[in-house]
Structure 1
Amino acid sequence: MRTMKLGTSTLEVPVIAVGCMRINSLDKSEAEQFVQTALDEGANFFDHADIYGAGACEEIFADAIHMDNNIREKIILQSKCGIRQGMFDFSKEHILNSVDAILKRLRTDYLDILLLHRPDTLVEPEEVAEAFDILESSGKVRHFGVSNQTPMQIQLLKKAVKQPLVANQLQLSITNANMISQGFNVNMENEAAVNRDGLILDYCRLNDITIQPWSPFQYGFFEGVFLGSDKFPELNQKIDEIASKYEVSNTTIAIAWLLRHPAHMQPVIGTMNIDRLKDCIKAGDVHLTREDWYAIYRAAGNMLP
Structure 2
Amino acid sequence: MKTIKLGTSSLEVPVVAVGCMRINSLDKNGAERFVQSALDLGANFFDHADIYGAGECEEIFADAIHMSPSVRENIILQSKCGIRPGISFDFSKEHILNSVDGILKRLKTDYLDVLLLHRPDALVEPEEVAEAFEQLEKAGKVRHFGVSNQKPMQIELLKKFVKQPIVANQLQLSITNANMISNGVNVNMEVDSSIDRDGSILDYCRLHDITIQPWSPFQYGFFEGVFLGSDKFPELNKKIDEIAAKYSVSNTTIAIAWLLRHPAQMQPIIGTMNIDRLDDCVKAADVVLTREEWYEIYTAAGNILP
TM-score by length of 2: 0.99
The residue number in structure 1 matching 2:108 is 107
In the TM superposition, 1:224-263 aligns within 5 A as 224-263=225-264
Q: Does 1:15 align with 2:12?
A: no
Give the match's secondary structure for 2:258: helix
- 2:13 corresponds to which letter in structure 1? V
Cα deviation 1:207-242 (Å, max 9, x = unaligned): 000000000000011000000000000000000000
Partner amino acid, structure 1, of 2:174 = S
Cα distance in 1 between the residues matched to 2:66 and 2:221: 36
Amino acid at match of 2:289: L
Partner residue, 2:175: 174
d(CA) in 2 for partners of 1:164 and 1:291? 35
% of aligned pairs identical?
83
Q: Name the counterpart of 2:219.
A: 218
Structure 1: how far apart are the matches of 2:129 and 2:78? Answer: 18
Q: What is the distance in 2 between the residues matched to 1:185 and 1:245?
A: 30
Q: Which residue of 1 aligns with 2:118?
A: 117
Displacement of 1:260 after TM fit?
0.1
Quote the Cα distance in structure 2 between the aligned partners of 1:192 and 1:165: 28
Are 2:81 and 1:81 aligned?
A: yes
Residue 30 of structure 1 aligns to a residue whose secondary structure is helix
Looking at structure 2, the residues matched to 70 and 126 of structure 1 have their Cα atoms a distance apart, in angstroms, of: 36
Distance 1:224 1:23 in 2: 19
Distance 2:284 2:191 in 1: 33
Unaligned runs of 5+ in 2: none
DSSP-derived class of the 1:146 partner: strand
Query: Could you tell me which residue of structure 2 aligns to residue 288 of structure 1?
Result: 289
Q: Compute the displacement of 1:205 (Å).
A: 0.1
Per the normalisation by structure 1, the TM-score is 1.00
SS of equivalent residue, structure 2 residue 288 = coil
Query: What is the match of residue 97 of structure 1?
Result: 98
CA offsets 1:136-175 (integer angstroms, 9 cap, x no match): 0000000000000000000000010000000000000000
Gaps of 5+ in 1: none
Distance 2:65 2:74 in 1: 11
Post-superposition offset of 1:135? 0.2
Aligned-pair CA distance for 1:23: 0.1
Alpha-carbon offset, residue 294 of structure 1: 0.2
State the number of aligned residues.
Answer: 305
Query: Paired residue for 1:70?
Result: 70
Matches within 5 A, 1:131-280: 131-280=132-281
SS of 1:266 mapped into structure 2:
coil
Amino acid corresponding to residue 26 of structure 1 in structure 2: L
Q: Which shifted more, 96-105 or 80-89?
A: 80-89
Please give the alpha-carbon distance, in whole angstroms, between the structure 2 residues aligned to 1:223 and 1:186.
28
Q: Counterparts of 1:155 and 1:96 in 2: how far apart (Å)?
A: 22
Q: What amino acid maps onto 1:210 in structure 2?
A: T
Letter in 1 for 2:79: S
Q: Secondary structure at the match of 1:152?
A: helix
Distance 1:263 1:240 in 2: 25
Which segments of structure 1 move beyond 4 Å, counting only runs of 4 or more?
A: none
CA distance in 2 between counterparts of 1:238 and 1:279 reads 18
